[in-house]
Amino acid sequence: MKKIINDPETVVRDALRGMRAAHPDLLTVYEDPAVVVRADAPVRGKVVVISGGGAGHEPLHGGFVGRGMLDAACPGAVFTSPTSDQVLDAVTKTDGGAGALLIVKNYTGDVLNFEMAGELAETEVRSVVIDDDVAVKDSLYTAGRRGVGGTVLLEKIVGAAAERGDDLAACEELAKRVISSVRSMGLALSSCTVPHVGSPSFELADDEMEIGIGIHGEPGRQRVPVGPASEMVAALLDPILEDLPFASGDRVLLFTNSMGGTPLIELYLAHGIAEQLLADRGITVERRLVGPYITSLEMQGMSLTLLKVDDEMLELWDAPVHTPALRWGV
């Protein structure tokens, strides 16, 4: 294992210290328990939007803390959900008197810990669970679909609504609308190595790719030979389009995401193909996001996320945001 770390035990803490050093104007970073809070918190009278999850997906979630997006993020150990103490602490530290909306990715541990925190909180708390990964087929026989790329879009849009003064019920309703309109799927060309494990999470031969991966180095649904980029993009886009389904005339936000190890040159190449495939189907791409925003450590691979947008979602997407990883309009 070759990584720029000192000790697998302190990776998350050491990275948080670096984040604090890099963004003193945007973030207040607490270590015990680990919580990343926007520097001007608490904002009086504003609904707070809080998320969290295992570390290793950076910039998700801490990189999205700041004006117009998250009020706080709770990083767990690498690929491990945060504890309920962390979530509760985030709620307490940011409480502006208008309640808290918790954005929870659908993994058993995340759901349980956020649920416990919600039960213990003294302020009014609502939770929404995002489950946009179409790779998980039958939710009757699984823990349900995973929360993946759609989380980034959800945090931006709901964060903007909270910033403009929407109340808790409105933020929750909007979040549910986004969740029901967004779908994602990912693929891996290589595995990743969790620092405290020291060896790759799964083995992939040089000529193989794993389709339908999540964001935790867990294997996907299917292992197939590596083909050209056009085949890879279609392998992700087709199941997404069929699932919602998206149809000719729909307006969408297209998010092309790197799993961490895939460079922008390949990501733009893939994004171009996805845009063409959508144009061929009569689907209008209204907004785009391209880059590494929800990653799986150093994994090579990508995911596509498609959100069917309406005018309100577009307005909120365009609203000013000032966080370490996303910044526009300010």
Under the rule (CB under 8 A), what is the footprint of other proteins? 33, 54, 76-85, 107-109, 112-113, 115-116, 135-137, 141-143, 146, 194, 196-197, 199, 201, 214, 216-219, 221
CA angle 293, 75, 142 (to 5 degrees): 75
Q: How many other CB atoms are found less than 10 A from the CB of residue 241?
A: 21
Closest distance of CB 200 from other proteins, Å: 9
Residue 214 vs 239, nearer CB to other proteins: 214
Closest distance of CB 236 from other proteins, Å: 17
Backbone angles phi, psi at 73, to 5 degrees: -135, 145
- Please tell me the distance from the alpha carbon of residue 301 to that of residue 210, in angstroms, as a whole number: 9
Sign for the CA dihedral angle at 91, 15, 321, 249 comes to negative
Q: 16 with 31: CB under 8 angstroms?
A: yes
Single-letter amino acid code for the residue at 182: V
Residue 108 vs 284, nearer CB to other proteins: 108
Closest distance of CB 155 from other proteins, Å: 21
- The residues annotated with a catalytic role in the active site are 57, 216
Closest distance of CB 208 from other proteins, Å: 15
Residue 71 vs 210, nearer CB to other proteins: 210
Q: Token match 């998700």: residue?
A: 60
- Please tell me the distance from the alpha carbon of residue 262 to that of residue 151, in angstroms, as a whole number: 20
Residue 76 vs 261, nearer CB to other proteins: 76
Which tokens go with 47?
Answer: 């609904």
Cβ burial of 162 (10 Å; 0-12, 13-18, 19+) is buried
Residue 110 vs 250, nearer CB to other proteins: 110
- Please tell me the distance from the alpha carbon of residue 175 to that of residue 64, in angstroms, as a whole number: 16
Residue 116 vs 277, nearer CB to other proteins: 116
Closest distance of CB 115 from other proteins, Å: 8
- Please tell me the distance from the alpha carbon of residue 320 to that of residue 205, in angstroms, as a whole number: 44
Q: Token match 């307490």: residue?
A: 92
- Please tell me the distance from the alpha carbon of residue 93 to that of residue 37, in angstroms, as a whole number: 8
Closest distance of CB 126 from other proteins, Å: 19
